[in-house]
Amino acid sequence: MFATKTLVNGAEQVASYGFRYGFLAAGIGMLLGQLAFNLLGKRFLGDVGMYPEGRNEDKTVVKAPLTKEETDRMAVIFIITLFVVFFWAGFEQAGSSLTLYTDKFIDREVGGFLIPTSWFQSVNAGFIVLLGAPVAALWVYLGRRGKDLSIPVKMGLGMVLLGVGFLFMVGAVMERGGDVADQAVKASIWWLLATYFFHTIGELCLSPVGLSMVSRLSPAALTSMLMGVWFLAPFVAQIAGGYIAAYVEELGALKVFGLIAGFVILAGLILIAIAKKLFHMMHGRG
């Protein structure tokens, strides 16, 4: 969050000071991190990561044929990865269409101070700091009472919440009277903050469980490959997100934000609807 606030927001000063100070700050930060790791790593981590974790394991497991349970679990990884593309394609609008809309059509003046557009890139990080612990506590609370949600349900819920966030952007466009070109007509900043609020909760429902899901469901010999499959989702989503943002000027923000909301909510509901089947295919690891 602080890096975004300090460095990304400082991009507005690039024209005056040049890129070298941004790269210098990043280099200093990495150097400090390396020093902290070298000086404190032994004290707090011990021998963790010093030796290959599986060096003494039976290597015949690599050649063992996949069982029915393993193929089912792999199928779940592929299916959920496909759904998650929709989430990240919408989420990545934060750095493109949402930022451009904020710059032109959101009332950013608070108490006589005009909030720089780039500052809103820190809103998501701020909400993560505020909401991360409560959301984690909610999962623990539900788990202790035997009511914990399965991984597919959590991810489907995250997608629905992302779509709800875009509905607030639809509200922002409608407050302005639609896609009017007059930049003097502004929408309330609260629409944007509500959007980021729901996007962050959706991210907290979906993102933290992704890597752990792959680790739990993948066969030991294929874990690294399936991690790569999982990261295909944001790769494809960022490409798709760029194309989606490009249509805002052609189709209008109202239609684009509305379509994103509709598609992501629909995909989330479908994932929730098939969650029981996916949970069964996880064979006790969901």
- Structural domain boundaries, residue 232: 70-281
**Cα 198 to Cα 163, 178, 190, 244, 259, distances in angstroms:** 8, 22, 12, 20, 17
Pair (29, 171) in one structural domain: no
pLDDT, position 56: 55
Among 56, 86, 101, where does a domain finish? 56
pTM of the complete model: 0.81
3-state SS, residue 113: strand
Kindly report the average pLDDT of the chain as a whole number. 88
Find which of 79-83, 212-216, 222-226 is predicted with most confidence, using mean pLDDT. 79-83
Pair (26, 101) in one structural domain: no
Q: What value does the CA radius of gyration of the chain take, rounded to a whole number of Å? A: 22
Beta-sheet pairing, 113-114 with 109-110? antiparallel
3-state SS of the chain: helix, strand, coil percent to 5? 80, 0, 20
- Residue 171 · residue 156 · CB < 8 Å: no
Pair (74, 49) in one structural domain: no
Q: Give a yes or no: residue 190 inside a domain.
A: yes
Give the tens place of pLDDT for each residue, 63-112.
678 899 999 999 999 999 999 999 999 999 999 999 999 999 999 999 99
Of the candidates 159, 154, 151, which has an alpha carbon nearest to the alpha carbon of residue 77? 151
